[in-house]
Amino acid sequence: MTLFAKFEALAATRQALAECGLKSVNVVMEKLISPTEAIVNGRPMILAGTNNYLGLTLNADCVEAACQALQTEGTGTTGSRVANGTYADHVALENDLSDFFDCTSVIVFSTGYVANLGMISTLAGSGDTIMIDADCHASIYDGCKLSTADIIRFRHNDPVDLEKRLKRLKERAANTLIIVEGLYSMLGDRAPLAEIAAVKKRYGAYLLVDEAHSLGVLGANGRGLAEETGVEQDVDFIVGTFSKSLGAIGGYCASKHKELDTIRYANRPYIFTASPSPSIIASTRKALSILRSQPELRHRLWENANRLYRHFKSLGLRVGPESSPIVAVRLASKEEAIQKWCRLLEQGIYVNLVLPPATPDGGALLRCSMSADHRPEQVDRIMDAFADVV
């Protein structure tokens, strides 16, 4: 045995990719043409796997805001938020998000992953309990690993199972952090958040919702599933990212608890990570203002998503349980998924290839994520390619 033995299965998967002419599942975008088009491996490609839900990555106003910040404040902060890395725009973005979520305070992090690592590992410690939905994102699991709390999983989207496990804790339920997602990133299904919030209230626990994929997508104002289901007052912490609907990189935690401002000074991933560069903060602030002022982007996104989901169902494909901007086709084996993914690339369609252990049930996925920027003829191309390949 060597340190490298554990990677043999991964090496076999890479070999399978090589046999269909690819060195890696990390496709290189050689030239971006638009939020939904690129040159990949020398050929034009429709991008249907980018999480660019509102299509803001090349928005002219966002790019201009980033360029101005780059010229006036430089390329980076070279320090963490608690050292020299807090600029005026970091505070301004936190204020923007506080106003958007109508909450007491917000912490901005360098990535969404770091936001989960920091908040989960800091909030729950020795003697506390964390209860997570079994299908939660890797960043949530890793945040749990960093915590010294007891970790309990409950069945995916099952508030009855959650309550059964909470009840067993008795008085410890009051020191329990429940964690769910708004939209689950693999199959695009929503959490039954109203029922989960009701369970949380009955037992006096705390609730953290990761709205990474639902910010800008769900709710009358785009605030996410908590807004859509009318339970914002019952959610203690909302964590999310700037790397989906806001087209940048970074993360945040929003809360109605005034203690959040104190928590930032105990939050190791926040304390010891360099703060986001000024250009990223500037483009994110502009993207947030666009999200708030242009609801038509969200409407176009859902038109595209519903159309693709209905078509896949009509083809008899195994898709997620409900329509969502995440439209995933479930396949029985990774070998079949790799083969069909390669054939889609040959037809000029890029989607996400998702293999175990990242998938919720041990199968494989061809995962599409739709954008407000997809034109009708591009959606036609995606549908035609899947009809031919899958």
Q: Which residues are catalytic?
A: 185, 213, 244
- For residues 251 and 93, is the Cβ–Cβ distance under 8 A? no
How far is CA 142 from each of CA 90, 113, 118, 278, rounded to the nearest angstrom? Answer: 26, 9, 10, 28
* Cα angle for residues 290, 293, 297 (degrees, 5° grid): 70
| List of long-range contacts for 5-13, beta carbons under 8 Å, 24+ apart | 13/334, 13/338, 13/355
Residue 127 burial class via C-beta count within 10 angstroms: exposed 0-12, middle 13-18, buried 19 and up: exposed
d(CA 218, CA 222): 5
Q: Which of 254, 258, 230, 225 is nearest to 241 (CA)?
A: 254
* Cα angle for residues 101, 103, 104 (degrees, 5° grid): 150
SS3 for 126? coil
How far is CA 330 from each of CA 189, 203, 224, 316, rounded to the nearest angstrom? Answer: 14, 37, 26, 11
Backbone angles phi, psi at 152, to 5 degrees: -130, 130
Burial readout 330-363 (b: 16 or more C-beta within 10 A, e: otherwise): bbeebeebbebbbebbebebbbbbbbbeebbeeb
Q: Which of 135, 285, 281, 291 is nearest to 215 (CA)?
A: 291
Q: Which of 129, 264, 263, 277 is nearest to 204 (CA)?
A: 129
